[in-house]
Amino acid sequence: MSTPRVLGSGEPDGAASVQLSGLTKHYSDVRALQDVSLAVGRSRFLVLLGPSGSGKSTLIRCLAGIERPTAGEIRLAGDVVAGGHRHLSPERRDLAMVFQDFALWPHMTVGENVQFPLRRRKVASGAAADRVRAMLQRVGLTRHAERYPHELSGGEQQRVALARALVANPALLLFDEPLSSLDANLRERLRIEIGTLVREQGATAVYITHDQAEAFALGDEVGILESGRLVQLGAPETIYRTPASPFVARFTGLSGVLTGRLLGPERVRPERVRVAVPTTDSTRQADISATPMAELRPGAAVQVMLRPTAVRLCDPEARAATLRAVVRDSAYHGRGYDYVLELGNGLELTGVFDRRRFTRGETVGVHLAAEQALVFAQDAALNAPPLAAEALARSAGAGPAGALTPLPHAFNSHTAEVD
Amino acid sequence: MSQRLAPESGGAVALPVTAGGRLRSLLPARARPRPGLSGIMAVLLGLLLVVPIGAFLLVAVMPRLFDQGNALFTLGAFGAALSGPSLHALGDTALVGAGSAVVAVACALPLALLIHRTNLIGRRAWTVGIWALLLAPSYLVALGWERLFEPGGVLVRAGVNAVFIRHLLYGPAGVIGVDGIKGVPFAYLAIAAALPGLGSSFEHAARVHGAGRLQALRTVVPIIAPAIWTSFAIVFAESISDFGVAATLAYDAHFPVSTFALFNAVDNEPISFPLAAAIGCTLVALAGLALLAQRRALRGRSYQVLSGRTRPYTRHRFGRAGQLVAGAGVGGFFLVALGVPVFGAISASLIKNLGTQLYGFQLTLDNYRRVLTGSDLYTPMLYSLRLALIVGTIVMLLSVPVARLLTRRASGPVAGMLDYLLLGAVALPSIVMAAGYILVYNLPVMHSLGLALYGTTTLLTIAYVAGALPNNSRILIGPLAQLHETLLTSARTHGATGATAWRRVGLPVLSRFIVWVWLYCFAGTLLELPISELLYPPSQFPLSVAIERRLSTYDFAGGTAMEVVAVVGALVVTGVVLALYRVLAPRGWRNVGAATS
């Protein structure tokens, strides 16, 4: 069982609002959660990010008490709520939850929906009415108290769900992909509202989503789940800059992936490595500078994962141009354009932003920012990149100490150092 | 004048839109609605339903119009219907309707929740049990109970004298219980249809916001209030219009109800159609009151739950103890609902001299030998079998166009009227319709028109069809509504004629339901009682009438043996038809609408 890490302001484990130790959940043969351990400090906002089937819904349902874990322990404010033979029912965990489909009871008015948690906590009716009114005012729905959920728009319904979750001032707030069924504009607006209201309330929040932008915008900490395992946990900036695995890098946003071989050991800067990648010309390759994410030996087959911010467009003949590419598609976004670039050999870069307008079919220069070009070992399933014979010969003669010398490259060997 | 845009080179061109004409011009000529179909169906249903029923109800106030009295307009029949024994029967009927609705919903709600919302073992078998109960005629269920508990019945012969249960059975509680059990499938189907809208998150939301298990259930069950109230209304209407229990258990228990009072008024001297019609009107009014109560209960509330956001529910997973308790509950229900009457019927059919003064407990197969060799017993079976095959086929053929008319948009006021007519006909007691057929087809004018059909197999067949068509058409409305128009239009735009489009697209999608309509209609006709009782031709007894006559002459063993053989026969035919469908229908046909897990 792994040791839980406390996120937040350096509090000891005992002060954690939420603490999971070795949490495991199996459904027959399906391992939905495997040995997940983490701890969240009081008033912190944790976002769990993962694709479908990664176990994030199972985790939040275990936290809520809707599911009973197969193994492991859950502590809320220091008390064991699940573990061993103990399983505290949801209504005794002092929490609230916002559901993906909102789960507003259709036969109750907005006011009745919001008042529900107060009635269950036996708050006197006068005080409850005041709190409901105040809560509806906070979410801007005072005039809708007597309406039924179906008479509200999607965004208003979500606000009612949020008001219902916040009104009783629970110790823990759970969010089960609450924005996924809303359109993009509304999602953006409500995301800001959720963040503001939750932080004003001072509640601890656990939020699950499959949307990386949502996770990074909301979370004090972000946890990445893959096949039921927590594969990385940290601040959004840490996860973006130093993803723990190619999976995490892919899931948190990439423009494209280049395959190549690690050169070295000569480095422009100690935290960078040089990688030879193939170009459209099969006899030549480019030499790029990138940031290693793992210990790699010179000559190793690697993949260079490019964040969208790593790719900048320039004149194909410019000195800064590391590679050449052809513009395949462009989408205008007001502030500029998102481009899809073709590098040859079936490689594409997507989501490349530039303010300038390039036409489809135009050849452009591609400049790669080294700190956002992340180097991982090549997946075993993939073949080594088809590099030029000269490079392979040199690589083979370099010896184990890595006596490789930088190769003559297609355009030039300069990549930017933006620190 | 519409604006014409000049085409740019290589650009898109906006075409002028002429009012109303664009869509029509895009449709192939034969895809347009045929005005004749509505008219034909309206005339057909008018002759089958409106004329006989309308005339029958009219005779209550205008008896002279039909040679049933001297008064051109009178409320005397209503005076008689709302006084004395008729009023007593009406009170009993209302009590039975309300009581059986409560019993049915009280059983159906937990059954539906357990079968649809939990991992209860044997869910498929329990669902088959529900359908078996739906198809079992009420008089067979009542007779099963009677044979078991009556004085001199199976239990008494076996030395068990269950006096307490007998007293309960032969009284209001027994009639309500049997009608309530018969109402369970109606309530179950209505509630089960509403459950997919009750996503698990409603219950989870209640739990995480502080509600306990029971409080959460109390919070979310009102979401399906429309289905619950509809169940009350349906079971109430079914129970007050039931004739099977009225003619057997209620009659034997000296507990008169309106349907039997109506039957008496047209079957026993002095025959009084106006009184029967007035009783019929009170029954219709009672059903109307139930519908009004349903509307009132739901007024001002919202129950809209199905939307694009609705997430599927997850089944509650029982542990071993939960499985045991829930299984015992559901098993107990089916033991009472199906086990007791089936055991009663089978055991009674195996006892020698049941119903006679010759006591003793001797098992024999003699009764079956009599049924299968004596022509007075198997002739009615063959007669009913023949009629059931004919009626099933006719109704199957008619219900598709009728349902199509009801689901097709913009079919005009005729379709709207048809809808109301069919809805009303579903709620109308069969006994009222049968009485209307007697009245109308026994009029001198019918003889002079050459339509002297009263007392013929033809009229019995027509009445069976008229009785079964409204229900079966409505069964097909759901599947037809899901048959999106574009499926047919797509076939037409790819070159199929209207008939081919229906054969290649409509029929495969609906085939499963059409087969079920045939089976439902076949089984219903084979053992149908109220229409048969009033309209059977002299000396040609349908099965149900033959069973009743056998029982009325105290040949309980022979009568129950007939029941058993008839039910087994219906099950065999059902099995054969389903097996044929499975073998002969292409796999794609069978897959449409089938469950995925």
Establish if A353 touches chain B: CB-CB under 8 angstroms: no
Show the tokens assigned to B108. 């159906």
* Nearest Cα to Cα of residue B548 among B148, B240, B243, B150: B243
**What percent of the residues of chain B are helix, what percent strand, and what percent coil, each to the nearest 5?**
75, 0, 25
The whole-number pLDDT of residue B454 equals 87
Residue of B201, B209, B219 for testing the chain A interface, max A β-carbons within 10 Å? B209
Question: Does position B597 have pLDDT exceeding 70, yes or no?
Answer: no
If you write DSSP's letter for every residue of A27-40 in order, what string do you get? Answer: ETTEEEEEEEEEEE
Smallest Cα distance from A165 to chain B, Å: 8
Smallest Cα distance from A96 to chain B, Å: 6
Q: Residue A89: its chain B contacts at CB < 8 A?
A: 207, 212-213
8 A C-beta contact, residue B388 and residue B522 = yes
Establish if B333 touches chain A: CB-CB under 8 angstroms: no
Instruction: Please name the residue of chain B whose CA is at the shortest distance from the CA of residue A165.
Output: B209
pLDDT band at B302 (very low <50, low <70, confident <90, very high): low
Please report the sign of the dihedral spanned by the C-alpha atoms of residue B81, residue B86, residue B88, residue B93. negative
Q: Which helix (H) or strand (E) holds A259?
A: strand A256-262
Rounded to whole angstroms, how far apart are CA atoms B33 and B412? 10
The whole-number pLDDT of residue B79 equals 94
Question: What is the per-residue pLDDT across B487-530, written as a single tens digit (0 to 9) for each?
Answer: 777 777 777 777 887 888 788 878 888 998 999 899 999 999 99
Chain-chain contact of A105 with B212 (C-beta, under 8 angstroms): no
* Nearest Cα to Cα of residue B347 among B570, B147, B140: B147
- Angle at alpha carbon of residue B336, lines to B330 and B338, rounded to 5°: 90
Q: Residue A121: its chain B contacts at CB < 8 A?
A: 210
Question: What is the per-residue pLDDT across B250-260, written as a single tens digit (0 to 9) for each?
Answer: 999 999 999 99
| Sole residue written with tokens 């959940």 | A25
Question: Does position A11 have pLDDT exceeding 50, yes or no?
Answer: no
Question: Does position B41 have pLDDT exceeding 70, yes or no?
Answer: yes
In Å, what is the CA distance from B217 to each residue of A298, B196, B204, B211, B244? 64, 16, 10, 9, 36
Instruction: Please name the residue of chain A whose CA is at the shortest distance from the CA of residue B317.
Output: A67
Rounded to whole angstroms, how far apart are CA atoms B177 and B144? 13
Question: What is the per-residue pLDDT across A327-362, written as a single tens digit (0 to 9) for each?
Answer: 999 999 899 999 999 987 778 999 999 999 999 999
In Å, what is the CA distance from B522 to each residue of A8, B128, B387? 71, 18, 9
The whole-number pLDDT of residue A403 equals 27
Establish if B196 touches chain A: CB-CB under 8 angstroms: no
How large is the average pLDDT for residues B10-15? 36
Rounded to whole angstroms, how far apart are CA atoms B594 and A278? 53
Question: Does position B191 have pLDDT exceeding 50, yes or no?
Answer: yes
pLDDT band at A85 (very low <50, low <70, confident <90, very high): confident
Interface predicted TM-score of the whole assembly (ipTM), two decimals: 0.72
Share of chain A above pLDDT 90, in %: 58
The whole-number pLDDT of residue B24 equals 39
Establish if A28 touches chain B: CB-CB under 8 angstroms: no
Establish if B198 touches chain A: CB-CB under 8 angstroms: no
Show the tokens assigned to A145. 């108290």
Pairing between strand A79-83 and A86-87? antiparallel
